[in-house]
Structure 1
């Protein structure tokens, strides 16, 4: 087995249209999300998880790799012919201000955000369809809330930063506790945040 791979770098901000378009393909988003959650995987494993042909998944893996969004991972089996992949960073971000200056960039940004929102909605719908199977503790813990605040842009920026920092604290705490051997009752938890101005 190969030497241990370095951990993916913590974060990356996408600022070029080519990479954003490569990332924003619906199947590539699913593949990338699956790698983030499941960890290092082969094309055949990913194909089973996203319900697509191995050849198609392999093609999209190569496209993601071309833009540095994923990278080869340490071999996880005795079969040296298998190619393993992992996300190249823990988190990706992309901001409207980096793409607003061209119609192509603005359209690509909007399209990717819409695809992400649709996939997040699908993820939540899956939970709703399966919530009885999760049991009472998880049903009580899960939340769907809506808040209304009167803020200016600086206050909204600060609010978002504070929420992100809080979630990161829990992420780090969960990783550390699990690394110490406390895995009892732990599951993947999705936390989705959308904050934006509106008028009526």
Structure 2
């Protein structure tokens, strides 16, 4: 079963606003990459005090993006978190009709892109990976002329590939030799054509 079949996206501007803080985006990505983590681990990952991280994690929890994972706690003081079934995903044709939603969505997207590229730069600047992983990692940048329907079709095909590998990942242990957590970043969007030059 794919991630899209088991999760839900954002359905209103109130939930969007819960993410309208750059630190919450960073905490969300840190938790997603860890799968399950303590408040202290996440605070250290984003380099903020534990109390500050705890406050923002509770805000994300109140709006359904993350949930407690008490089964991992060794005592009553230890607080663990994991992602819930709600993801930071929405359909522009529905959510963005609400007042303020477009501005909030733009703020969230910009914060998410900054975090994605912070992680990409961290990988590029790290000397921790052997040449096999460096060869396997990829970056794709292409410009093509498409209709809206064709862009949507490309997205669907790419997601089918992602979902196939996600299913493969779920069927095995993340501690298996040669297995690392991998982040893929894909963007597909229209750009304005330059005027006055060659087409």
Shared fold (TM-score, shorter chain, > 0.5): yes
C-alpha displacement at 1:50, in angstroms? Answer: 1.4
Q: Which moved more, 1:170-179 or 1:28-37?
A: 170-179
> Counterpart in 1 of 2:140?
145
**Dislocated runs of 4+, deviation >4 Å:** none
Is the aligned partner of 1:171 residue 2:166? yes
> Counterpart in 1 of 2:23?
27
Matches within 5 A, 1:81-160: 81-89=77-85, 91-102=87-98, 104-130=100-126, 132-160=127-155
> Counterpart in 2 of 1:66?
62
Higher strand share: 1
* Structural RMSD (CA): 1.9
> 5+ unaligned residues in a row in structure 2: which ranges?
195-199
Is the aligned partner of 1:184 residue 2:177? yes
TM-score normalised by L of structure 1 = 0.86
TM-score normalised by L of structure 2 = 0.87
Q: Is the 8 A contact 2:72 2:80 kept in 1?
A: yes
C-alpha displacement at 1:79, in angstroms? Answer: 1.0
The CA distance in 1 between the partners of 2:181 and 2:86, in whole Å, is: 15
C-alpha displacement at 1:103, in angstroms? Answer: 5.2
C-alpha displacement at 1:24, in angstroms? Answer: 3.1
C-alpha displacement at 1:102, in angstroms? Answer: 4.7
C-alpha displacement at 1:186, in angstroms? Answer: 1.1
The CA distance in 2 between the partners of 1:48 and 1:81, in whole Å, is: 17
> Counterpart in 2 of 1:5?
none
The CA distance in 2 between the partners of 1:100 and 1:90, in whole Å, is: 18
How many aligned residue pairs are there?
Answer: 189
C-alpha displacement at 1:96, in angstroms? Answer: 2.5
C-alpha displacement at 1:171, in angstroms? Answer: 1.4
Match of 1:195 among 188, 191, 196: 188
Q: Which moved more, 1:170-179 or 1:55-64?
A: 170-179
C-alpha displacement at 1:40, in angstroms? Answer: 2.2
> 5+ unaligned residues in a row in structure 1: which ranges?
1-8
Q: Is the 8 A contact 2:65 2:86 kept in 1?
A: no
